[in-house]
Amino acid sequence: MKPNPAPILEDKDNEDLFEHFRFVADPGQGQLRVDKFLGIHMKQTSRNRIQKAAEAGAILVNGKAVKSNHKVKPKDIVTLVLAHPPRDKTLLAEDLNLDVIYQDEDVLLVNKRAGMVVHPAHGHYSGTLINGLMHLFANLPGNDQERPGLVHRIDKDTTGILVIARTEQAMTMLAAQFADHSCEREYIAIVWGDLAKDEGVIEGYLGRSLKDRKLMAVFSDSSQGKHAITHYKVIERFRFATMISCRLETGRTHQIRAHFKSIGHPLFGDPSYGGQNIPDKHGLPRFKDFMRNSLGILPRQALHAKSLGFMHPSKGERMRFVTELPEDMLAIIERFRRYVGV
């Protein structure tokens, strides 16, 4: 067997902690189990780690997920996704002018701005929400040195409310509430298209897309993902787009973004799930030009974590916090209203 070229490290800016590798089987190669094939070309990676990747559906041959005993044939394209190993990196405290909307001895609530990563990860070891919190608060709890106090997160370009634990007890109790879905979470989103119903439920199994492992997709089979439920209600219609309220019954990665993509209504501005593709529309003046300018105002997913409710860890009372929509979403809403004559 001829030596294979070095692996191609793809998606360097991937916010999730994954490395992407791609290999092409030599034309003169005989059939070989995929775990052995990868073991030959990734000598620094243990066989157990490779087999676990196969169990997770992270090894693809010619674009299809395979088991570890799958036989690789000549010229097959083998791709592999592995989580980055933990990195020993000192967490830096940075003054990031965080918008802290509430704090007491147990919890603090932050209104996160767009473009800010929540916690340090591959490619983002500074400028994160956690870096900013370390500047303001000492001794945040947590068993992960890169995520002190963190019990949930929202995407980099999603704005809105997050709760942070300030004690070990608060962290344990808040984590339990997120796990049993007793927290109340409401998001405001703008989606492409005119939704057929004033309210509804989107349900399915959310897992890594088989086409792009950075993204999530909705499956009908529980073996391909985790159960995810999103409830929505229409707030306002703009003919070509709809503003909605979403209530999460579960909290999966990219849940709202992937759910609405799956029903043909991606979030406006979402660069990963088709939200920057301007649909053909008739009957409205200079529609494409108007939309190009609108996407310049809001070049991210139109998604805001508006409110969060939970049982306070020590007070034993229900608390609910609400944030206002960010300026870019407000500007788009007013722009859409004027355009359709609302």
Beta carbons within 8 Å of 109's beta carbon, 6+ residues apart: 100, 101, 102, 103, 161, 162, 163, 164, 308, 321
Amino acid making up residue 64: K
The percent helix, strand, coil of the chain (3-state, each to 5) is 20, 30, 50
Catalytic residues: 155
The CA angle 275-111-152, to the nearest 5 degrees, is: 75
Instruction: Indicate the DSSP class of residue 315.
Output: T
Amino acid making up residue 236: E
Whole-angstrom distance, CA of residue 297 vs CA of residue 339: 15
HSE (CB half, 13 Å, CA atoms) of 215? 18
